Amino acid sequence: MSGSRFGPGYLVGPLEPRHDRRSFSCRVEALDRYLKEQATQDARRGVASVFVAEEQPTGVILGYYTLSMAAVNLDRLPDHLGRKMPRYPTVPCVRLGRLAIHADAQGHGLGTHLLMDAMARALRSEIAWAAFLVDAKDEAARSFYLRFGFESLADDRNHLYLMRRTLEPLFGAGPPRARPR
């Protein structure tokens, strides 16, 4: 499995057929059901990439997240950011669609590790994007993302974003550059 190691005892990488999704429970029915019933279909159809934190050496899924491409209407960004964007009707984004931690692994920082892994993966992509989006499902999730500097889009306090240029220095990344031939 290709992936990145974050902390002792688990490896983060793409969801694979060998992963046992049946035992996963974060105690949020919609998130549990997604991993068990829909995640592999979304990955196969190319609508979301699904990444799991797998306990080593047991292979138990401790958490997961999804990433997909998205766009946000320019007028949903605060005025000070919208004025700096090209005059296209939408801004290209990466969307963190779901983030869930197994109930037994909650409260140990795995959610933070998975969020950082998602941001780092997005920054490694050669596809251009300007903002990293999340849709907080409730106030607790919103509070989690606000701790990392996310801000609300203009039309909905639970639709949150971080600009790519804010993330790049944190991960030692810069804008995509042309490769020499």
The pTM of this model reads: 0.87
**Is residue 178 exposed (0-12), middle (13-18) or buried (19+ Cβ within 10 Å)?**
exposed
Q: What is the CATH number of domain 4-171?
A: 3.40.630.30
List Cα–Cα distances, 53 to 3, 5, 37, 90, 140, in angstroms. 9, 9, 18, 33, 22
Residue 14 amino acid letter: P
pLDDT at 53 over 90: yes
pLDDT class for 124, splitting at 50, 70, 90? very high
Instruction: Write out pLDDT tens, residues 136-160.
Output: 999 999 999 999 999 999 889 999 9
* Residues labelled catalytic: 145
pLDDT of residue 107: 92
